[in-house]
C-alpha cells in the first residue's frame, strides 16, 4: 500500500502544493525534494542516495526538470535512473523522461510508431537551416532541443536574416514545418488510463498557444480518434503521465506536436470539475501496487 511519496520539484510550485494536499487527504506522507539536494554514493556495500526523505519514500514523482549545466543535468538524470534501477517507482520513468525531453528524439520515436508529426530536422548551421526552410515551403518553427512552455519557439521564414538567440548560443536547433492552422490547438493530458483535454487559443498577435505565453484555455471534448492518437503518442515514449499537444491543420489533418513528460495541469484544472491531482496520485498508487503486488486496504 502506498504510504509515502517524494515529489521532485520546487517547494513554491502550485503543482507540488496540490500534490502534497492530495497526499494529506489520502493519509500518504508527502515531501517536496529540491533537485539541488539530490546526491548519491556507491561502494562495495551498494548505493545510497540523499536526501533520505526521497530514497525512503515508496515512490517518486518528477514534477519539474530545472535547467542547469550539462554536468548537473546529466548527473541528476543518472541518479534518478539509478534510484529507479534500485527498485524505486519513479514517474515518469527516467528513460522515458530522457526521450520526451529531447524534441528531436521525441519526433523520431513518434514517427517510428506511425504517428503523424510535422516534417522535422535537426541542424547545426545557418546554411542547413536555410536549405530546410526552403524544403519546408519557406515557413518553419525553430525549437531548442530542450525547452517547455513555448520558450524559445520562433517562426522562421526564408526571408528571415536574424537567427534566434538560443541557436547562436547552443549551435543546434530543431526545425519543423509550420502547420497552417486556425490559432488553436489541443492539450490532452494522459494519466494512466484517464484522459483530460482542453483547447488552447492563442492571444491576439501571438501564434503560440501556450498558456504561459498568454493562451486561453477552454473546455474541449476531443473525438475518439484524437484521444487514441494521444494515447498512442504517450505509449510510444513510454510515459504514464503525458501532456500531448495536437494541432488540426487548415486542411483537416491532425498532427502531434509534442509529448511533455512533466506536464502541468493548472490551466486544465480550471476547465474541468474533475480533480486532476487526485488522478495523478491514483496513477502513482496503481503503479506502486502493480509493481509490488500490494493492494489498498479499505
pLDDT at 149: 62
| Pair 173, 191: CB distance under 8 Å | no
The answer to whether 257 and 230 have CB atoms below 8 angstroms apart is no
* pLDDT, tens only, 75-97: 999 999 999 999 999 999 999 99
Over residues 20-25, the mean pLDDT reads 97
DSSP classification of residue 273: S
pLDDT above 50 (res 7): yes
| pLDDT of 213 strictly over 90 | no
What local confidence, expressed as pLDDT, does residue 214 receive? 86
pLDDT at 153: 83
pLDDT at 227 over 60: yes
Is residue 126 very low, low, confident or very high in pLDDT (cuts 50, 70, 90)? Answer: very high
Q: What pLDDT was estimated at residue 296?
A: 46
pLDDT over 80 at 298, yes or no: no
50-73 tens-digit pLDDT: 999 988 899 999 999 888 888 998
Strand partners, 30: 5
- Residue 297: its pLDDT value, please? 43
pLDDT of residue 150: 60
203, pLDDT greater than 60: yes
Which residue from 215, 212, 222, 213 is spatially nearest to 189, judged by alpha carbons?
A: 222
CB 220 within 8 A of CB 267: no
Average pLDDT over the chain, rounded to whole? Answer: 92
Distance of CA 256 to the CA centre of its chain: 13
Instruction: State the Cα–Cα distance between residues 31 and 56, nearest whole angstrom.
Output: 11
Please list the alpha-helical segments (H only) found in 113-207. 126-135, 165-170
10 Å Cβ neighbour count for 109? 20
- The pLDDT-based confidence of 182 (bands split at 50, 70, 90) is very high
pLDDT band, very low/low/confident/very high, at 212 (cuts 50, 70, 90): confident
Ramachandran area for residue 171 (φ above 0: left; ψ -120 to 50: alpha; else beta): left
Query: Which of 25-29, 178-182, 204-208 is predicted with the least confidence, judged by mean pLDDT?
Result: 204-208
> Quick one: pLDDT at residue 294?
66
Of the pLDDT bands very low, low, confident and very high (cuts 50, 70, 90), residue 295 is low
Range from 52-61, 154-163, 278-287, 288-297 carrying the lowest mean pLDDT: 288-297
List beta partners, residue 17.
none
Beta bridge partners of 176: 120, 141
Q: Which domains does the chain have, with CATH numbers?
A: 4-91+279-292 (3.40.50.20), 102-114+181-264 (3.30.470.20), 120-177 (3.30.1490)
Distance from C-alpha of 39 to C-alpha of 55, rounded to nearest angstrom: 10
State percent of the chain over pLDDT 90.
77
Residue 148 pLDDT:
66
Q: Is the pLDDT of residue 179 over 60?
A: yes
- Say if residue 144 is preceded by a cis peptide, omega within 30 of 0: no
Amino acid at each position: 500500500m502506498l504510504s509515502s511519496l517524494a515529489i521532485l520539484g520546487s517547494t513554491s510550485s502550485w503543482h507540488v502544493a496540490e500534490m502534497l494536499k492530495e497526499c494529506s487527504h489520502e493519509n500518504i506522507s508527502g515531501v517536496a525534494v529540491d533537485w539541488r539536494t539530490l546526491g548519491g554514493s556507491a561502494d562495495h556495500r551498494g548505493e545510497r542516495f540523499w536526501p533520505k526523505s526521497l530514497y525512503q519514500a515508496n515512490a517518486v514523482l518528477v514534477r519539474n526538470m530545472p535547467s542547469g549545466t550539462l554536468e548537473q543535468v546529466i548527473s541528476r538524470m543518472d541518479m534518478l535512473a539509478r534510484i529507479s534501477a534500485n527498485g524505486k517507482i519513479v514517474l515518469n520513468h527516467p528513460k522515458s523522461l530522457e526521450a520526451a525531453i529531447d524534441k528531436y528524439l521525441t519526433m523520431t520515436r513518434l514517427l517510428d510508431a506511425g504517428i503523424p508529426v510535422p516534417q522535422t530536422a535537426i541542424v547545426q548551421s545557418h546554411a542547413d537551416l536555410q536549405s530546410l526552410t526552403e524544403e519546408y515551403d519557406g515557413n518553419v518553427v525553430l525549437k531548442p532541443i530542450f525547452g517547455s512552455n513555448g520558450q524559445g519557439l520562433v517562426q522562421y521564414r526564408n526571408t528571415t536574416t536574424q537567427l534566434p538567440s538560443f541557436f547562436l548560443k547552443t549551435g543546434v536547433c530543431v526545425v519543423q514545418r509550420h502547420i497552417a492552422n486556425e490559432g488553436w490547438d489541443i492539450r490532452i493530458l494522459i494519466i494512466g488510463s484517464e484522459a483530460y483535454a482542453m483547447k488552447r487559443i492563442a492571444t491576439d498577435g501571438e501564434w503560440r498557444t501556450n498558456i504561459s505565453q498568454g493562451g486561453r484555455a477552454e473546455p474541449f471534448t476531443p473525438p475518439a480518434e484524437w484521444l487514441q492518437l494521444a494515447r498512442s503518442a504517450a505509449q510510444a515514449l513510454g510515459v504514464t503521465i503525458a501532456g500531448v499537444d495536437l494541432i488540426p491543420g487548415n486542411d483537416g489533418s491532425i498532427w502531434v506536436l509534442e509529448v511533455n513528460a512533466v506536464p502541468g495541469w493548472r490551466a486544465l484544472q480550471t476547465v474541468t470539475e474533475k480533480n486532476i491531482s487526485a488522478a495523478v496520485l491514483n496513477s502513482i498508487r496503481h503503479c506502486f501496487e502493480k509493481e509490488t503486488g500490494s493492494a489498498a486496504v479499505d
